[in-house]
Structure 1
Amino acid sequence: MVAPAVPEITEEVIHEAIDARTESLIALRELGPPDLVHLLKQPLRNPTKQIGVYHHVTGVDASSSASLAAYVNTLTYKEFGQGATAKTVEGTYCCYNAFSRVDMRVHAPFPGSVESYCIDERGEKRKATDELWLETYLCSVLRAYSYADDGSGDTIKKIMGVRRFNPVTSTETEHRFLSSAEQLFFRGWQLGSDAVVQVPNAVSNHLTTGILKYFHTTGRYASGINLFEKLRSQNVEVASLLAKVLFMGNEEVEGVRVLHEALKEHPMDYVMLDTQAEFLLKKAEIAATPEQKEERLRMALGCADRSTIAAPSEFGTWARLAQVYVAMEDWENALTILNSCPMFTYQDKDAPIMPEPKDVLLPTLPETRLDEIDSEPESRYLEQVDPNLLNLRASAYRGTFKQAYGILTEMTAKIGWDQLLKIRSNVFVMEDEYRSEKQETVQQAYPAKRNASTDALRGTPDPATNGDASDGEGEEDAEKDNDTLKEADSASMAPTLVANGKAADLERPSSAMDPEEVKKDGENGDIDEHFSRLNNKRLCERWLDSLFMVLYEDLRVYTIWRTQMAQYRAQSMQYKKSAEEWEILGSLAERLQHIDEAVEAYRACLSLRFSPKALTGILRVFEKNKNTRETIAATIRLVTWQYRWYSEFSPELLHTVRMLIEDEGAVKVRSIVQATSLPQNVLDLTHHYAALCATFRSSGTDG
């Protein structure tokens, strides 16, 4: 298998990339940025001059200085082929160790001996020990999985010129990975956790997330069960991870038994309770009878409710409880619980902060040549995009806000926007009714004064356990929405929207009462005890009020699009949009859980130019519907696009190939791939993924 091409970013000042990396070490909070490879080159025609070039990489074996030096060595050999204009005189490889918060570095002059050392957060040089290399290796594998692209290209486009390799390509490298994970397992909390986890612990952190993703991708469940069985003997909390792998491997009875036994010892372990609730929710979805579904949801409700008591400050427990209420169609409780979710400001993955480069070279290998893919960048450059589509804020949501928005859109898809607004006004104190009640109370001029937050609005969740949206995206969105609501009477935001002369009815959400203002009124003594109608209502958190406005924006644009489409079809006219606009509309429809409309938009996008995002959106539907040939055709193109941009490894695409082989058998999958009318060099890239499945002896492979 040929390695991806090597991108080259040329420095303005020699070594400034390494200096910039050193300066950024103190600010790193996650697993660290991709590895940095810096080369010092000497033009053949001008030996006195030196040029600094670099690129980033993930998935290279970082178990020792020798393995990193070997990678640098492979780059120097590329220089002496046909057309070589410079030779490499030295190379430096930088790989971040997130356990000890040091940057491991290997300096390899040519010729000369290799030097390895590490740089701490203060920029001071320290000795590289075996323990540090063990930590660095594990961090490297976790980064390769965490920072890999899902096929859509979103991750690839974030950082320019990153080579991505598969860190575990055989049962031997798997053994090394799991052995290092076992040794460092109970220090995993030091690495931090996903954005939806407030406090990392032994079983919720970047290490456990990476291990579970590995087993999900490769299907090596027996290795996972073996690992977590050993670790459970040291800490019973690991039972939740063991159960998850058992569920992945369809050993559900054993998984339930493991959780049952562990919860006897730790009845308030929130991760185990949440794992039970998640399992019961999935079983309820496939229940044979309504009675069976109701029973499973009732059990899921008990587990989810108990997990919020065990971990009241964790978003995941409250979100799971809200999902259970949605499945039970208890809409008022679902909205109430959603309002109780603690929200966290999204912490993105560490990315390299580099100075402006002097030059950028992004070469293409002949093996990745495919006309429809090669034409993508040029086509995109010429496209026009409607500003209304670019300004949809929901597309930028990440972490807790994205998950909460997903629950809200699920409710909307099931009961409709109008019904959701009615439930909202039943559950929360709305601004107009609060003002009206306040005015009546002031006019009656009762002498008794009480605090609204503890009396007149009984049952409002305590702010300390109800999230703090005082910073980050929740606060910003709330401020934007306040401005939007003030202008709500303008024609553009009127309750009845007009698209091409035809009305599209969509009620604009009225504003919920700002909790801060209610508190101020209570402190000032402006609220009386006679707020009878509001006694059983809650204050809506500002972030949730903001989500309603963002959802309204999504629905407004979606409604106009569908109305216009219907009008054009009625008149037998073609509805024209640019590829970028179709891609955004597909994403919008997918966000609102209108899958058929999303596929329609994505197909329209692909008819104009290649789009990995659109093709990934369609691939998800192909997989769900078991459309084997369409799934394979989409996978081949996505694998090729990934490889074109220096990524030979995508866990999601590897998982797709593995599931195809599991369902259809390796021989049939290989035959369908080979029968595709695409160049052989392109087909070989997908055959490489299938070969990995054979190496791991996945279900459906030969032998």
Structure 2
Amino acid sequence: MVAPAVPEINEEILAESIDARTDSLASLRELGPPDLVHLLKQPVRNAGKQFGVYHHVTGVDASSSASLAAYINTLTYKEFGHSATTKTVEGTYCCYNAFSRVDMRVHAPFPGSVESYAVNDRGERLKATEELWLETYLCSVLRAYSYADDGTGETIRKIIGVRRFNPVTNTETEHRFLSAAEQLFFRGWTLGSDSVVQVPNIVSNHLTTGLLKYFQTTGRYASGINLFEKLRTQNTEVASLLAKVLFMGNEEVEGVQVLHSALKESAMDYVMLDTQAEFLLKKAESALTPESKEERLRMALGCADRSTIAAPSEFGTWARLAQVYVAMEDWENALTILNSCPMFTYQDKDAPVMPEPKDVILPTLPEARLDEIDSEPESRYSEQVDPSLLNLRAAAYRGTFKQAYSILTEMTAKIGWDQLLKIRSNVFVMEDEYRVEKQQESGLHPYSVKRTASTDGLRGTPDPTAPNGNDDAASEVSEEDKEKEAQAPEGEPIAPTLTPNGDIEGLERPPSAIDPDEAKKDKENGDEEHFTRLNNKRLCERWLDSLFMVLYEDLRVYTIWRTQMAQYRAQSMQYKKSAEEWEILGSLADRLQHTDEAVEAYRACLSIRFSPKALSGILKVFESNRNTRETVAATIRLVTWQYRWYSEFSPDLLHTIRMLIEDEGAVKVRSIIQATNLPQNVLDLTHHYAALCATFRSSGTEG
């Protein structure tokens, strides 16, 4: 496999990239940024003039100074940007150790001896010990998975000029990785955790996330079971990780037994309870009878409810409970529990903060040349995009807000917008009814017990501080809309009418819930203590109230699009949008869980130009429908696009290939790849992924 090309970012001032990295060490909070590789070069004919170039990289073996020096040495033979007119004088490799919060550095002059040292957040040099190298190696593997692209290209576009390699390519490197993970496992919580976890612990942190991602990607479940079996003897909590890997490997009975046994020792371990709830929820989805589904959901509810008691400040436990209620079609409780979710500010991955470069050179190797992909960058920047599509706030949601929004859109997809508004007005105090009740009510009824949204959502008991009422108008459908629905052909979308203020008739704007701060202030002032009509309602958290308005904007744009599409088709006219607009519309339909419409938009985008995001969106549908040939064709193009932008490794694409091989067999998959009407150099890139599966002896590669 030929290594990806080497991007070169030219510095304005010599070594300013290294200085900038040193300055940023004190602000790093997660696993750290990708590794930095800096090269000092000089023209062949002018030894007195030197300049610096750099790029970033993940997945390089960082187990010793020798392995990093070896990487630097490979770059001396790849003189892309300045061809043969320059030579490399020295190189510096910087790799962050998130355990000890130091930057490990290797300085390799040509010729000369290699020097290695560590730099702390004060810029001081420290000795590079074996323990520091062990920590650094493990962090480098975790970063390779954390900073890998999922196929959509969004991660690749975040940081310019990053080469991505697979850190674990065979069983020997796997052994080294898992050995390091075992030695440092109980310090993993110090690395931090995903943004949806409030407090990292020994089973919820970046190390365990990376381990589970590795086992899911490669299918090396036996290795995972072996690792967690050993660690479980030291701490019972590890049973949740062991069960997760057993479930991955379809060892469901043993996984349930592991959880059952561990919960006898630690009955209030919220991760184990949540793992049980997640498993039961999935089993309910595949239940063959309504009775079986109901029984599994009832058990899932018990586990999820108990996990919120065990960890009331964690988002994941409340979100799981809300998902169970959605599956049970208990919409009021689902909305109540969603309102109780603790929301956290999204903490993005550590990213390099570099000075403005003098020049950027992004070469392309012949092995990654494909006409439909090569034309993509130029056409992207010339496209016009409707401002209303650029202003959809839901597209920017990350972390807890993204997950909460997904639960809300699932409810909307199942019961419709009007019904959701009606349930909302039944559950929460709306601003209009609060004002009316406040004017009408003069009696006072003191309550001294303080309540919280979390405990109320958990117990399902009324909040005496929350006024109550009903807003039936929120779910009313106009007579005109009913008439349109009756006249519309079956399966044909109703064409809502645009009103002067830009709203859609038939799609009601959500009324505002009362601001909790205002209601609490009224209570403190003695203006409101007890409104008889409102005493069983809750105050809607401001973030959830905002989510309803964001959902309305998504639905509004979606409805306009589908209406216009129907009108154009009725008149046999072509509905025209730019590729960027089609990509945004596809993402919008995806968010709203309208799969067919998302695929339609993504296909329209791809008919104009290549888009990894659009193709990834369609790939998910191909995979779920077990459309082998279409899945292979899409994967080949995504692998090539990734390689074009210096990434030879995507865990998600490797997982796709592995599952294809598991379902169809390696011989058939290789034959389908080879039979595709694309250049051989492009096919070889995907063959490389298939070869990895054979190296790991994945299911389906035998024979």
- The two structures have a TM-score, normalised by structure 1, of 0.93
Secondary structure of the 2:72 match is helix
Listed one character per residue, the Cα deviations across residues 385-435 of structure 1 (whole Å, up to 9, x for unaligned) are: 000000000000000000000000000000000000000000000000000
Query: Which residue number in structure 1 is paired with residue 409 of structure 2?
Result: 409
When residues 96 and 566 of structure 1 are mapped into structure 2, their CA distance, relative to the original with a 3 A threshold, is same
Query: Which residue number in structure 2 is paired with residue 347 of structure 1?
Result: 347
Listed one character per residue, the Cα deviations across residues 454-502 of structure 1 (whole Å, up to 9, x for unaligned) are: 58xx774469999xxxxxxxxxxxxxxxxxxxxxxxxxxxx96359999
Secondary structure of the 2:700 match is coil
Query: Which residue number in structure 2 is paired with residue 426 of structure 1?
Result: 426
8 Å Cα contact 2:97-2:139 kept in structure 1:
yes
Query: Which residue number in structure 1 is paired with residue 522 of structure 2?
Result: 521
**CA–CA separation in structure 1 for the residues paired with 2:167 and 2:593:** 35
Deviation at 1:21, TM superposition (A): 0.1
8 Å Cα contact 1:189-1:200 kept in structure 2:
yes
When residues 462 and 435 of structure 1 are mapped into structure 2, their CA distance, relative to the original with a 3 A threshold, is farther
1:60-71 to structure 2, matched below 5 A, reads 60-71=60-71
Query: Which residue number in structure 2 is paired with residue 29 of structure 1?
Result: 29
When residues 463 and 159 of structure 1 are mapped into structure 2, their CA distance, relative to the original with a 3 A threshold, is farther
Query: Which residue number in structure 1 is paired with residue 204 of structure 2?
Result: 204
**CA–CA separation in structure 2 for the residues paired with 1:228 and 1:248:** 14
Partner of residue 450 from structure 1, selected from 435, 446, 452: 446
**CA–CA separation in structure 1 for the residues paired with 2:511 and 2:202:** 44
Deviation at 1:615, TM superposition (A): 0.1
When residues 422 and 586 of structure 1 are mapped into structure 2, their CA distance, relative to the original with a 3 A threshold, is same
Q: Is 1:603 aligned to 2:567, yes or no?
A: no
Deviation at 1:504, TM superposition (A): 4.6
Query: Which residue number in structure 1 is paired with residue 510 of structure 2?
Result: 509
Secondary structure of the 1:91 match is strand
Q: Letter of the aligned partner of 1:12 in structure 2?
A: E
**CA–CA separation in structure 1 for the residues paired with 2:567 and 2:45:** 66
8 Å Cα contact 1:450-1:522 kept in structure 2:
no
8 Å Cα contact 1:107-1:116 kept in structure 2:
yes
Query: Which residue number in structure 2 is paired with residue 678 of structure 1?
Result: 678
1:52-451 to structure 2, matched below 5 A, reads 52-79=52-79, 83-441=83-441, 445-446=442-443, 448=444, 450=446
Secondary structure of the 1:701 match is coil
Listed one character per residue, the Cα deviations across residues 240-266 of structure 1 (whole Å, up to 9, x for unaligned) are: 000000000000000000000000000
Query: Which residue number in structure 2 is paired with residue 659 of structure 1?
Result: 659
8 Å Cα contact 1:512-1:540 kept in structure 2:
yes
When residues 54 and 81 of structure 1 are mapped into structure 2, their CA distance, relative to the original with a 3 A threshold, is closer
Deviation at 1:382, TM superposition (A): 1.1
When residues 302 and 501 of structure 1 are mapped into structure 2, their CA distance, relative to the original with a 3 A threshold, is closer
Query: Which residue number in structure 2 is paired with residue 478 of structure 1?
Result: none
Deviation at 1:550, TM superposition (A): 0.3
Deviation at 1:450, TM superposition (A): 3.4
Deviation at 1:525, TM superposition (A): 1.2
Query: Which residue number in structure 1 is paired with residue 481 of structure 2?
Result: none
**CA–CA separation in structure 2 for the residues paired with 1:174 and 1:377:** 37
Query: Which residue number in structure 1 is paired with residue 466 of structure 2?
Result: none
Secondary structure of the 2:435 match is helix
Deviation at 1:46, TM superposition (A): 1.5
Q: Letter of the aligned partner of 2:160 in structure 1?
A: M
**CA–CA separation in structure 2 for the residues paired with 1:144 and 1:91:** 21
**CA–CA separation in structure 2 for the residues paired with 1:295 and 1:541:** 32
**CA–CA separation in structure 2 for the residues paired with 1:554 and 1:116:** 53
**CA–CA separation in structure 2 for the residues paired with 1:355 and 1:464:** 49
Q: Letter of the aligned partner of 2:157 in structure 1?
A: K
8 Å Cα contact 2:8-2:81 kept in structure 1:
no
8 Å Cα contact 2:662-2:699 kept in structure 1:
yes
8 Å Cα contact 2:504-2:556 kept in structure 1:
no
**CA–CA separation in structure 2 for the residues paired with 1:407 and 1:80:** 48
8 Å Cα contact 1:459-1:536 kept in structure 2:
no
**CA–CA separation in structure 1 for the residues paired with 2:552 and 2:617:** 23
Q: Letter of the aligned partner of 1:182 in structure 2?
A: E
Deviation at 1:81, TM superposition (A): 12
Listed one character per residue, the Cα deviations across residues 307-335 of structure 1 (whole Å, up to 9, x for unaligned) are: 00000000000000000000000000000
Listed one character per residue, the Cα deviations across residues 432-463 of structure 1 (whole Å, up to 9, x for unaligned) are: 0000000112xxx44x4636x958xx774469
Q: Is 1:5 aligned to 2:5, yes or no?
A: yes
Query: Which residue number in structure 2 is paired with residue 481 of structure 1?
Result: none
Deviation at 1:14, TM superposition (A): 0.2
**CA–CA separation in structure 2 for the residues paired with 1:460 and 1:81:** 59
**CA–CA separation in structure 1 for the residues paired with 2:452 and 2:269:** 26
**CA–CA separation in structure 2 for the residues paired with 1:248 and 1:496:** 49
Q: Letter of the aligned partner of 2:638 in structure 1?
A: L
Q: Letter of the aligned partner of 2:339 in structure 1?
A: N
Q: Is 1:588 aligned to 2:584, yes or no?
A: no
Secondary structure of the 2:607 match is helix
**CA–CA separation in structure 2 for the residues paired with 1:527 and 1:382:** 57
**CA–CA separation in structure 2 for the residues paired with 1:528 and 1:100:** 53
Deviation at 1:15, TM superposition (A): 0.5
8 Å Cα contact 1:284-1:292 kept in structure 2:
yes
Listed one character per residue, the Cα deviations across residues 528-564 of structure 1 (whole Å, up to 9, x for unaligned) are: 43x0111100000000000000000000000000000
Deviation at 1:79, TM superposition (A): 3.3
Query: Which residue number in structure 2 is paired with residue 626 of structure 1?
Result: 626
**CA–CA separation in structure 2 for the residues paired with 1:320 and 1:501:** 37
What is the number of equivalent residue pairs in this alignment? Answer: 667
8 Å Cα contact 1:146-1:210 kept in structure 2:
yes
Listed one character per residue, the Cα deviations across residues 136-176 of structure 1 (whole Å, up to 9, x for unaligned) are: 00000000001100000000000000000000000000000
**CA–CA separation in structure 2 for the residues paired with 1:170 and 1:218:** 10
**CA–CA separation in structure 1 for the residues paired with 2:218 and 2:162:** 23
8 Å Cα contact 1:342-1:465 kept in structure 2:
no
Q: Letter of the aligned partner of 1:43 in structure 2?
A: P
Deviation at 1:41, TM superposition (A): 0.1
Q: Letter of the aligned partner of 1:568 in structure 2?
A: Y
Secondary structure of the 1:619 match is helix
Secondary structure of the 2:268 match is coil
8 Å Cα contact 2:98-2:191 kept in structure 1:
yes
Query: Which residue number in structure 1 is paired with residue 472 of structure 2?
Result: none
Query: Which residue number in structure 1 is paired with residue 696 of structure 2?
Result: 696
Query: Which residue number in structure 1 is paired with residue 486 of structure 2?
Result: none
**CA–CA separation in structure 2 for the residues paired with 1:464 and 1:102:** 44
Secondary structure of the 1:79 match is coil
Secondary structure of the 1:384 match is coil
When residues 500 and 337 of structure 1 are mapped into structure 2, their CA distance, relative to the original with a 3 A threshold, is closer
8 Å Cα contact 1:365-1:644 kept in structure 2:
yes
When residues 463 and 64 of structure 1 are mapped into structure 2, their CA distance, relative to the original with a 3 A threshold, is farther
8 Å Cα contact 1:389-1:581 kept in structure 2:
yes
Listed one character per residue, the Cα deviations across residues 186-222 of structure 1 (whole Å, up to 9, x for unaligned) are: 0000000000000000000000000000000000000
Query: Which residue number in structure 2 is paired with residue 489 of structure 1?
Result: none
8 Å Cα contact 1:12-1:358 kept in structure 2:
yes
- The two structures have a TM-score, normalised by structure 2, of 0.93
Listed one character per residue, the Cα deviations across residues 588-612 of structure 1 (whole Å, up to 9, x for unaligned) are: 0000000000000000000000000
**CA–CA separation in structure 2 for the residues paired with 1:278 and 1:80:** 50
Secondary structure of the 1:215 match is helix
**CA–CA separation in structure 1 for the residues paired with 2:529 and 2:99:** 55
**CA–CA separation in structure 2 for the residues paired with 1:501 and 1:508:** 11
**CA–CA separation in structure 2 for the residues paired with 1:554 and 1:573:** 25
Secondary structure of the 1:108 match is strand
When residues 36 and 83 of structure 1 are mapped into structure 2, their CA distance, relative to the original with a 3 A threshold, is closer
Q: Letter of the aligned partner of 1:624 in structure 2?
A: S
8 Å Cα contact 1:16-1:355 kept in structure 2:
yes
**CA–CA separation in structure 2 for the residues paired with 1:195 and 1:579:** 32
Q: Letter of the aligned partner of 1:46 in structure 2?
A: N
**CA–CA separation in structure 2 for the residues paired with 1:81 and 1:335:** 56
8 Å Cα contact 1:102-1:119 kept in structure 2:
yes
**CA–CA separation in structure 1 for the residues paired with 2:40 and 2:652:** 36
